[in-house]
Amino acid sequence: MSKVTLFIGNKNVSSWSLRGYLAVKHAGVEFEEVLIALRPTVDRAKLDELTPTGKVPTVMHGGQYVWDSLAICEYFNDLNPAISYWPENINVRAHARCVAAEMHSGFVALRAQMPMACHSIFDCPKISGDLKKDIDRIIEIWTDCREKYKSHGPYLFGRYSIADMMFAPIVMRFKSYQVPLSNQLQEYCNAIYNHPDVKEWVDDADPNDAAEPDSR
Ligand SMILES: N[C@@H](CCC(=O)N[C@@H](CS)C(=O)NCC(=O)O)C(=O)O
């Protein structure tokens, strides 16, 4: 396979980068990781020089740029037909694609008010308004998935999939902001924290990279 390079932001805070990283790691390929600083200040010159959109995650594979976390997930799924990235059954796969897309395009209040900071623990803020709507919807999605697919494994659709990659940064946020969850959902969160690829990301993350409410 030609060389894979993954451009990411600071691991403690760059939630979109985490999604791209999980997609590349799941493929089991060797890759070079290039950190572009978002903290303490954004290295705008490097972002603009090394990525087509000035954003991370971005992958460079051979001559091909792939930017945007969901496109990176789909690219590695296409490259590795023998590795499961989506559920096999077409209806379950449609469900998984819906919730992954919903995460990718939504939850703006949650992203702004509870920025990811893998190593930090904060007091739970007052959960009301749009933040409450976002959290309630995520709890609804996760509960529905776990009830339907729990007999197939510990992840949203039983086996680990792109849906889990998309929601992994939400699991991090729920831990940091101590969002109360049912036992069933706490078990799901534990499965994500204990996933080897997630653990490796968190272990590498620098706790000194601070979180700010800015929807990263
Ligand atoms: N929709 C994009 C979002 C990418 C994104 O906003 N990345 C943030 C870091 S987590 C970024 O590069 N920010 C730099 C900037 O906008 O200046 C994706 O899914 O990859």
Question: Does the CB atom of residue 9 touch ligand 1 within 6 A?
Answer: yes
Q: Which of 48, 55, 69 to mutate to test the pocket of ligand 1 (most atoms within 8 A of CB)?
A: 55
Mutate to test the pocket of ligand 1, among 7, 22, 56, 214 (most ligand atoms within 8 A of CB): 56
> Ligand 1, residues 16, 167, 173: which to mutate, most atoms within 8 A of Cβ?
16
Residue 15: CB within 6 Å of ligand 1? yes
Task: Report the distance separating Cα 153 and Cα 155, nearest Å.
Answer: 6
**pLDDT score recorded for residue 215:** 43
**Is-contact 212 42, C-beta < 8 A?**
no
Which residue has a Cα nearest atom 12 of ligand 1? 55
* 198 half-sphere exposure, CB direction, 13 A CA radius: 21
118: its two tokens: 């893998």
Considering the entire predicted model, what is its pTM? 0.97
Q: Give the pLDDT of the chain (216 residues) as one tens digit per residue.
A: 799 999 999 999 999 999 999 999 999 999 999 999 999 999 999 999 999 999 999 999 999 999 999 999 999 999 999 999 999 999 999 999 999 999 999 999 999 999 999 999 999 999 999 999 999 999 999 999 999 999 999 999 999 999 999 999 999 999 999 999 999 999 999 999 999 999 999 999 999 998 665 444
**Start-end of CATH 3.40.30.10 domains in the chain:** 4-83
Domain 4-83 has CATH 3.40.30.10: yes
Is residue 188 within 8 Å of residue 156, measured between CB atoms?
yes
Give the pLDDT of residue 113: 95
CB atoms within 10 A of CB 154: 18
- pLDDT (0 to 100) of residue 216: 44
C-alpha 58 to ligand 1 mean position (Å): 9
CATH 1.20.1050.10 in the chain, residues?
90-201
Residue 179 alpha carbon to ligand 1 centre in Å: 24
pLDDT of amino acid 167? 98
Q: From 1.20.1250.20, 3.90.650.10, 1.20.1050.10, 3.40.630.30, which CATH number describes the 90-201 domain?
A: 1.20.1050.10
